[in-house]
Structure 1
């Protein structure tokens, strides 16, 4: 399967796997499998779009939670046995980044002429906290987490820090809505690898040379997404459900000023998806 360029929907499509709103936390073991079709930019910063399939997974084993976000896998090593208490989260995360690793998926000729990038494997951990029953009902959920990873595959070779805040609320046992806000803070190697353009690359692509993104670490992107779901069986805790989402993100600072974005692409990044999930 091809999961290239899932940077935009990594946070958004977690909702496709989240068929269980907070009222399902009474189960110590659960599994939701989802499959979505997503519209995303052809690369991070592109103004061209393409459609890709996105499988998702979320579950609990003896109250230890795990979930995917695009091509990333999270495992919470702290069990949450009481949904009425604070949910402290801590554990490992592994993400595979395919951005610009296949030239056939890049529609812009100039960016294609810059050459492909290697696949990055980002390994690290996350910490977070969540609470059920905070605003609208006893079953809504508000959570915040920060993931810190580093590329160990020798691609950009740098760190990625991703803070995120998410809120989900069931409207009934049949439907739910949610919203999430996230950002990416990246190291110098990341900016240099994906956004700087050296002299040879400038001659090959026709884009001007650029070295601003690799000068220092900084916030690369901030984004927001809205999501909703409805059960086909009448109860989101079991059976089939349909989901939809819309997301917007904005490229920031020296990364947005790179010709890869400012000339060949766009600072504004949109994403959308529809999907179906099954909860066992």
Structure 2
């Protein structure tokens, strides 16, 4: 079983505090990473930084959020690759397998009417739980797809299909870039893009009911992990999505928001060895 470093897109304050407590706990038994650690214990990666992304799908306003960086691996293993937009997860077939599957969970922050600027309804905080499948085509190209169901919040189905070109110098740096297609069902699109007759009457927007699910965005994601020393490193990412189809035709996007969705973040991380 392989546990991959994860750069989250959303962390609630209590989750951020838990990460800090975990760092303090590991720090009690931590030692700097060195060659003599090979073959024993684990190498733990932990860090944090700021990130910005739209306050909700289709927004033209952005929020500043904490970004958590974390992972664990055996000494001697290279840092596993993790794309900026993939959620928490782990592979069931092992880090050396070119094909892998496993569970994944992502989070979507709450959408409030005041952020939209019209009484179109709130969408609660959503935990998206599902699974992924991926395949490596040679050492530098990964194709991955995942499907998740919202628990609370939008309660819809959402999925991502993407490919990444991955360039690396073992543990000195990892650079990735690749295209994305975002998919969702009607329930997800109703939650974020529908304007009910009652909401139209209250807001002055035209009523709009997305006819169904399908692709709602296309985009690109890029990330860079760069070790600046034996234990310290930097992580950064940048992303862009363009809303398409029924999502792009929504008055919430067309009149109050934006089809263009940018994101990015940068953080500092520290690696240490634990003898567990």
- When the two structures are superposed, what TM-score results if normalisation uses the length of structure 2? 0.74
Matched residue, 1:163: 161
Is the 2:81–2:174 Cα contact (8 Å) retained in structure 1? no
CA deviations over 1:102-129 (Å, ceiling 9, x no partner): 456x2x422xx22311222322211111
Is the 2:179–2:219 Cα contact (8 Å) retained in structure 1? yes
CA deviations over 1:65-84 (Å, ceiling 9, x no partner): 7979669321211113x4xx
Shift of 1:254: 0.6
Is the 1:57–1:67 Cα contact (8 Å) retained in structure 2? no
Equivalent-residue separation in structure 1 for 2:213 and 2:224 (angstroms): 35
2:237 aligned with 1:245: yes
Helix, strand or coil for the counterpart of 1:130? strand
Helix, strand or coil for the counterpart of 1:52? strand
Is the alpha carbon distance of 1:164 and 1:34 closer, same or farther for their aligned partners in structure 2, counting shifts above 3 Å? farther
Equivalent-residue separation in structure 2 for 1:229 and 1:66 (angstroms): 9
Q: 1:230 aligns with which of 218, 226, 229?
A: 226
Is the alpha carbon distance of 1:230 and 1:69 closer, same or farther for their aligned partners in structure 2, counting shifts above 3 Å? closer
Matched residue, 1:276: 268
Matched residue, 2:4: none
Helix, strand or coil for the counterpart of 1:149? strand
Matched residue, 2:217: 221
Shift of 1:225: 2.1
Equivalent-residue separation in structure 1 for 2:69 and 2:190 (angstroms): 31
Shift of 1:180: 2.7
Q: 1:50 aligns with which of 41, 63, 74?
A: 63
Q: For structure 1, which runs of at least 5 residues remain unmatched after alignment?
A: 6-25, 134-140
Aligned pairs for 1:87-98 (under 5 A) are 87-98=98-109
Is the 1:232–1:241 Cα contact (8 Å) retained in structure 2? yes
Q: For structure 2, which runs of at least 5 residues remain unmatched after alignment?
A: 1-8, 13-38
Is the alpha carbon distance of 1:181 and 1:97 closer, same or farther for their aligned partners in structure 2, counting shifts above 3 Å? same
Is the 1:67–1:73 Cα contact (8 Å) retained in structure 2? no
Q: 1:121 aligns with which of 109, 115, 127?
A: 127
Is the 2:175–2:223 Cα contact (8 Å) retained in structure 1? yes
2:73 aligned with 1:60: yes
2:188 aligned with 1:190: yes
CA deviations over 1:210-233 (Å, ceiling 9, x no partner): 11x2x2111011111223343221
- When the two structures are superposed, what TM-score results if normalisation uses the length of structure 1? 0.73
Residues matched between the structures, number: 235
